Amino acid sequence: MHQLTIAEIIRGLRDRQFSSVEITSHLLERIQQLDGHYNSFITVTGEQALEQAAAADARLAEGNAPALCGVPIAHKDIFCTHGVRTSCGSKMLDNFVPPYDATVVDNFLQAGAVSLGKTNMDEFAMGSSNESSFYGAVKNPWDIERIPGGSSGGSAAAVAAQLVPGTTATDTGGSIRQPAAMTGTTGLKPTYGRVSRWGMIAFASSLDQGGPITRTAEDAALMLSVMASPDNKDSTCLDRPSQDYTANLNDSIQGLKIGVPSEYLGEGLDTQVRERVQEALKEYEKLGAELVEINLPHSKLAVPSYYVIAPAEASANLSRFDGVRYGYRCENPADLRDLYMRSRGEGFGEEVKRRILVGSYALSAGYYDAYYNKAQQVRRLIKQDFVDAFDKVDVIMGPTAPNPAFKLGEKNADPVAMYLEDIYTIATNLAGLPGMSIPCGFARGMPVGLQIIGNYLDEARMLNVAHQFQQATDWHQQTAPAAE
């Protein structure tokens, strides 16, 4: 049963081929047996999951259950869950048990989905390799000596290892798409504001966005249909009604105009990754799409501007963790200053401290205009590049990441090299656009992701384009060796 997609589980539950309790029990056993290899979960909520599954079976028996009723999922440990530890991968929140559910979590509860637990992640979502977690690095199911990508590496690894058919995740600079690419899964970052951030622990508030990681575009559409909803508790959440993102999956893409940025296929891209992306683009031509070369002239400035804006927002957001109200508190503080300094010094990891320092510096008097303000001006230029491109094309495609998954520890001593793993994904966040990654082959024995970027609020077309590729190819059906 662990090989089933979300769509297949929905059909199986409706046809009474198995119950929610049965598939939930099977996946919980699989997590217990196999996750010691991957470390993809921080918390497994077995007892609660079985209670939810039993309740889902009762709803299914009544015949009026929502689409995802009884379907097992897992949540990235950045989404607050009532009564269940929400750590954000940090020692700072190791003892934090929220008194409420995030809107995304509540949406799935209302839909009858079954939560198996909370997945591992880079601390406070800061990282590209899932090595900065307080709970240890996550391993890639395709090769447990390699990284799964980050920061949603636990979510991606759990899906790739067939421990769960779908997970929630978040994307601030590529943290859904990049791990999806490196684990051979399908990951979708919606338009900024499409999914509520209420109850999603903040990293960079103008960039963070929740989305799903699944095996197929169809499953991503099913999950997004539940995740995306208006929310008056989040002022940045768009007032757009929920919709069925599966409705247009089977539409023809004949005549679709695909923009291919020359900047995304040049220097710095692994040769085998380039070949796989070009092969995928040829497949789209066979499906009736037209390739159009475009330019995104300011894309080279995406990484430097992001690494001013994101740390600046992080330094403000993380100031709330002071050892006073909740979270980690140092032992026997001498005074208030000592409480602040030791609680934060002992509670945060190295990458989080690095970004707080960079962000605080960029916001400091005398440097605000030179760094933060200038980065925001560059951000507007990057957005305009995309606006101009979408006057000519329907979607934009290129590689998700410049390299396949690298070895654990390989880039820990070089933060800049690590940051460059997000070079093709960051601009989408700065512009607030939707983007997704789908499997398109292998490079050096590891999965490669094709990135699809859509216009604002055009997730339905993006999912249609991804689904049509997956109908014509079987890269998304390839199974990680350790998961067989």
Task: Measure CA 133 to chain center.
Answer: 16
Q: Pick the catalytic residue: 151, 155, 299, 437?
A: 151
| Residue 189 designated active-site | no
Q: Is the omega angle on the peptide bond into residue 129 within 30 degrees of 0, that is, cis? A: no
Residue 478 carries which side chain, given as an amino acid letter?
A: Q
254 phi and psi, to 5 degrees? -55, 125
- Closest to 64 (Cα-Cα) out of 119, 112, 1, 135: 112
Look at the block and give the residue holding tokens 């779908």.
166
- How far, in Å, CA of 63 to CA of 72, rounded? 19
Other Cβ atoms closer than 10 A to 122: 31
| Residue 300 designated active-site | no
Tell me the two tokens of residue 176: 């859904």
Q: DSSP strand E in 354-394: where?
A: none
Q: Pick the catalytic residue: 76, 91, 139, 189?
A: 76
321-350 burial by CB neighbour count: b if 16+ within 10 A, else e?
A: bbbeeebbbbeeeeeeeebbebbbeebbbe
Other Cβ atoms closer than 10 A to 251: 14
Tell me the two tokens of residue 34: 């196999």
Tell me the two tokens of residue 143: 């090769």
3-state helix, strand, coil in the chain (%, to 5): 45, 15, 40
103 phi and psi, to 5 degrees? -60, -40
Tell me the two tokens of residue 75: 């949540």
Other Cβ atoms closer than 10 A to 262: 13
- How far, in Å, CA of 383 to CA of 390, rounded? 11
Q: Pick the catalytic residue: 87, 175, 299, 437?
A: 175
| Residue 364 designated active-site | no
> Which residues are known to be catalytic?
76, 151, 175
